[in-house]
């Protein structure tokens, strides 16, 4: 079966699942729902796997399937492109997505709205697959918006909680701000290259029509605008504020959307547009800088958070910063590599935390946890592996990808030592806060009340099996990206080679990296391992060895970090209050003066008009009537005296009349 030509089916399976849920979901029993929705994702995974394997057999690893022309003017079709980059993405999305669906069967089993949850999840997978499989920016944008919508729906899943609804709105609105930039960037791109199809755009950009921009020009602006969209979607500064609040949604949602898939859409988009970013070193530098800054900022906040999911949320923001660091210094395959390994261990950590919360009967505050490692062993062991991975312990997936990022930051022609320094500091902080989480949650004495303690139980298999699969992936997943310095050849650089055709460049980035000095690389590698171990050691010391009273309390910086650097408050003041109060005040003034003024003005003019009419009526019209009467009176006044009532005067008039007649004849004699 030619899977390659069936790649358009890959997004359709979960769409079918969502539609079935929309129309029939209410009537289906939970068991059927549990079969349909994860089953759809599994089908997608199978088709994806088949297609990717067949893609590997193609000489030109670029297969397009166009269903129909959608927007001819923008050169955008309903078309799907399977190339190495999208193949990685679809496998990650469908694979991890499937595992999370299975997990959700257990996690959401007792919740209301079971079918609704799975319907939304399937819808989300559909949009995400559309996003990564699209062959043009317009269809990508459709998926982009769609995942934003699903994110809103799923964050606000517990809609009866006001905080959930607010978080959903915040996510959507902040995303929208970024999307505005993305759309502008798309317009510019279309203007510059005449098309939105990836293949065509890349052709144009590679053709040498545009030279590498030395300073900030039109290309850089385009790249920057598109990156703004990425910051919204992938939670970078300044648009990251929605992601921590998004933890209001159910934990599987956090795992799928806010760890493995949606937030990586921005990284994917930058990677897909690598031809553009290669031509604009200024913007690439901005990308790397923003990524680095976000990484360290988020990590600093994660150091002191007490909600288990918040720690993981900020950790995600921080790791995304790493990915953008890689993309910014030109190591696009590394960014995708980290995306892929991060999907494994972050999903694992989120699902594990979900398991912990489930065991704790809904409690999320780590200060009330402790001593769980014997009570929920499977969860503990899998999370242990995941935490090692994220800390960057060698052998596990996270080490390979994170180390490669740090190396590229140091050595790339458009890298920067400063970025490396920020990166390594962040890595230390990552190790620390992750193991702080582990020690507080699983080790030591249990700090929860008796009632909760009795209810601690391991999660059912349907939840723990995905955890185990993900743990396995966290271990072996990184082995396809060994640094060349350690071992060379074949399987060990498979990831880079696989993605090479997508990220080919005419420039010397890769060649520059090839001439590296192995010794520096070893040194840096050793340094990153060391800082990871140091971070873990400090965490162990404070949270395991020290008693609670002895722990350092932190001081003023602690308060700032706990309050997330007051960024939310700043935004609230600048944008919300400023707009509503200022805008509201302005609107009120406008309403008072212009609108009411207009209404009053018409009233006034009506009164004026009526006054003039009244005057006209009184003086002119009545005047004319009175004048007529006056004339009659004036004329009749002398006539009155003729009617004297005096007969003889009448006779006199007779005589005068006769005289007049005679006189007339005499006159005419």
Which stretches of the chain bind other proteins, using CB under 8 A?
640-641, 643-648, 651-652, 655-656, 658-659, 662-663, 665-666, 669
Nearer to other proteins, 68 or 646 (CB): 646
Q: State in angstroms the smallest separation of the CB of 631 from other proteins.
A: 20
CA separation, residue 207 to residues 25, 279, 652 (Å): 51, 12, 128
Q: State in angstroms the smallest separation of the CB of 664 from other proteins.
A: 10
Q: State in angstroms the smallest separation of the CB of 624 from other proteins.
A: 29
Residue 382, token pair as written in the block: 């899998």
Nearer to other proteins, 573 or 650 (CB): 650
Q: State in angstroms the smallest separation of the CB of 620 from other proteins.
A: 34
Please check whether residue 104 is in contact with residue 465, taking contact to mean a CB–CB distance below 8 angstroms: no
Q: State in angstroms the smallest separation of the CB of 632 from other proteins.
A: 16
Q: State in angstroms the smallest separation of the CB of 668 from other proteins.
A: 12
If we measure between CA atoms, which residue out of 58, 84, 74, 477 comes closest to residue 272? Answer: 84
Nearer to other proteins, 620 or 653 (CB): 653
CB-based contacts of 366, cutoff 8 Å, min separation 6: 306, 307, 308, 311, 437, 440, 441
| Sign of the CA dihedral with 640 first, then 646, 652, and 654 last | positive
Nearer to other proteins, 53 or 661 (CB): 661
Q: Residue 71: beta bridge partners? A: 76
CA–CA gap between residue 633 and residue 13 (Å, rounded): 102
Nearer to other proteins, 68 or 667 (CB): 667
| Sign of the CA dihedral with 627 first, then 628, 631, and 637 last | negative
Q: State in angstroms the smallest separation of the CB of 640 from other proteins.
A: 5
Please check whether residue 338 is in contact with residue 401, taking contact to mean a CB–CB distance below 8 angstroms: yes
If we measure between CA atoms, which residue out of 107, 646, 127 comes closest to residue 353? Answer: 107
CA–CA gap between residue 547 and residue 539 (Å, rounded): 13
Residue 580, token pair as written in the block: 């509503």
CA–CA gap between residue 103 and residue 629 (Å, rounded): 103
Q: State in angstroms the smallest separation of the CB of 625 from other proteins.
A: 26
Nearer to other proteins, 598 or 663 (CB): 663
Nearer to other proteins, 487 or 659 (CB): 659
If we measure between CA atoms, which residue out of 423, 441, 331 comes closest to residue 386? Answer: 441
Nearer to other proteins, 519 or 648 (CB): 648
Q: What is the helix, strand, coil percentage profile of the chain, to 5? A: 75, 5, 20
Evaluate the omega torsion of the peptide bond into residue 238 and state whether it is cis, within 30 degrees of 0: yes
CA–CA gap between residue 117 and residue 317 (Å, rounded): 25
Q: State in angstroms the smallest separation of the CB of 669 from other proteins.
A: 8
Please check whether residue 445 is in contact with residue 371, taking contact to mean a CB–CB distance below 8 angstroms: yes
Nearer to other proteins, 68 or 637 (CB): 637
| Chain-centroid distance, C-alpha 507 | 32
| Sign of the CA dihedral with 595 first, then 598, 604, and 607 last | negative
Nearer to other proteins, 583 or 663 (CB): 663
Question: Which residue spans within 258-370 are E strands per DSSP?
Answer: none
Nearer to other proteins, 68 or 665 (CB): 665
Please check whether residue 231 is in contact with residue 263, taking contact to mean a CB–CB distance below 8 angstroms: no
Q: State in angstroms the smallest separation of the CB of 615 from other proteins.
A: 38
If we measure between CA atoms, which residue out of 249, 607, 536 comes closest to residue 390? Answer: 536
Q: State in angstroms the smallest separation of the CB of 643 from other proteins.
A: 5
Q: State in angstroms the smallest separation of the CB of 661 from other proteins.
A: 9
What is the signed CA dihedral for 230, 235, 237, 242, rounded to 10 degrees? 130
Q: State in angstroms the smallest separation of the CB of 666 from other proteins.
A: 6
Query: DSSP states of 635-657 as a string?
Result: HHHHHHTT--S-HHHHHHHHHHH
Nearer to other proteins, 67 or 651 (CB): 651
Nearer to other proteins, 579 or 654 (CB): 654
């Amino acid at each position: 079966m030619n899977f390659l030509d069936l790649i358009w089916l890959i997004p359709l399976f979960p769409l079918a699942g969502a539609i079935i849920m929309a129309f029939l979901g209410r009537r289906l029993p939970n068991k059927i729902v549990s079969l349909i929705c994860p089953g759809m994702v599994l089908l997608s995974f199978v088709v994806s796997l088949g297609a990717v394997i067949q893609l590997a057999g193609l000489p030109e690893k670029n297969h397009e399937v166009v269903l129909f022309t959608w927007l001819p003017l923008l050169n955008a079709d309903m078309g799907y492109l399977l190339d190495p980059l999208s193949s990685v993405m679809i496998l990650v999305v469908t694979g991890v997505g499937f595992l999370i669906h299975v997990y959700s069967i257990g996690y959401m089993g007792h919740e209301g709205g079971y079918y609704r949850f799975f319907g939304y999840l399937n819808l989300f997978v559909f949009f995400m697959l559309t996003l990564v499989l699209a062959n043009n920016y317009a269809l990508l944008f459709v998926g982009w918006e769609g995942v934003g919508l699903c994110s809103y729906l799923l964050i606000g899943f517990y809609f009866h909680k006001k905080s959930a609804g607010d978080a959903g709105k915040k996510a959507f609105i902040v995303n929208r701000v970024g999307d505005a930039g993305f759309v502008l960037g798309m317009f510019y791109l279309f203007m510059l290259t005449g098309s939105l199809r990836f293949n065509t755009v890349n052709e144009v950009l590679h053709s040498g029509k545009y030279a590498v921009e030395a300073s900030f020009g039109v290309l850089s602006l385009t790249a920057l605008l598109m990156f703004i969209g990425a910051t919204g979607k992938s939670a970078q500064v300044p648009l990251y504020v929605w992601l921590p609040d998004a933890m209001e949604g159910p934990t599987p949602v956090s795992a799928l959307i806010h760890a493995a898939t949606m937030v990586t859409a921005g990284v994917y988009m930058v990677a897909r547009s690598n031809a553009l970013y290669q031509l604009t070193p200024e913007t690439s530098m901005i990308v790397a800088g923003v990524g680095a800054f976000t990484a360290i900022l988020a990590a600093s906040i994660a150091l002191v958070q007490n909600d288990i999911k918040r720690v993981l949320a900020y950790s995600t923001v921080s790791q995304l910063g790493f990915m953008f660091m890689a993309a910014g210094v030109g190591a696009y395959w590394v960014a995708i590599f980290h995306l892929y390994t991060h999907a494994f261990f972050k999903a694992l950590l989120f699902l594990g935390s979900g398991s912990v919360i489930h065991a704790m009967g809904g409690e999320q505050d780590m200060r009330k946890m402790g001593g769980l490692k014997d009570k929920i062993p499977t969860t503990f062991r899998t999370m242990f592996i995941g935490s090692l991975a994220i800390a960057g312990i060698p052998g596990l997936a996270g080490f390979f990808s994170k180390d490669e990022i740090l190396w590229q930051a140091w050595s790339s022609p458009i890298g920067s030592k400063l970025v490396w320094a920020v990166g390594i500091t962040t890595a230390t902080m990552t190790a620390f806060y992750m193991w702080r989480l582990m020690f507080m949650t699983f080790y030591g004495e249990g700090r929860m009340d008796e009632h909760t303690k009795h209810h601690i139980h391991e999660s059912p298999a349907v939840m723990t099996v995905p955890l185990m699969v993900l743990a396995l992936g966290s271990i072996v997943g990184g082995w396809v990206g060994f640094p060349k310095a350690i071992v060379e050849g074949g399987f060990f650089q498979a990831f880079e080679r696989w993605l090479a055709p997508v990220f080919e460049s005419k420039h010397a980035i890769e060649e520059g990296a090839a001439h590296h000095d192995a010794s520096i690389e070893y040194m840096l590698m050793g340094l990153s391992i060391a800082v990871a171990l140091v971070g873990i050691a400090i965490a162990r010391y404070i949270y395991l060895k020290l008693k609670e009273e002895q722990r350092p309390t932190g001081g003023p910086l602690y308060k700032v970090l706990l309050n997330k650097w007051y960024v939310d408050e700043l935004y609230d003041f600048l944008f919300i209050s400023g707009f509503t109060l200022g805008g509201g005040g302005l609107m009120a003034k406008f309403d008072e003066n212009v609108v009411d003024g207009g209404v009053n003005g018409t009233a006034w003019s009506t009164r004026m008009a009526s006054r003039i009419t009244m005057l006209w009526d009184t003086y002119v019209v009545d005047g004319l009537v009175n004048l007529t009467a006056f004339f009659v009176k004036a004329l009749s006044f002398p006539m009155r005296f003729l009617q004297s009532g005096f007969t003889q005067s009448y006779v006199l008039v007779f005589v005068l009349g006769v005289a007049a007649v005679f006189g007339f004849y005499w006159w005419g004699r």
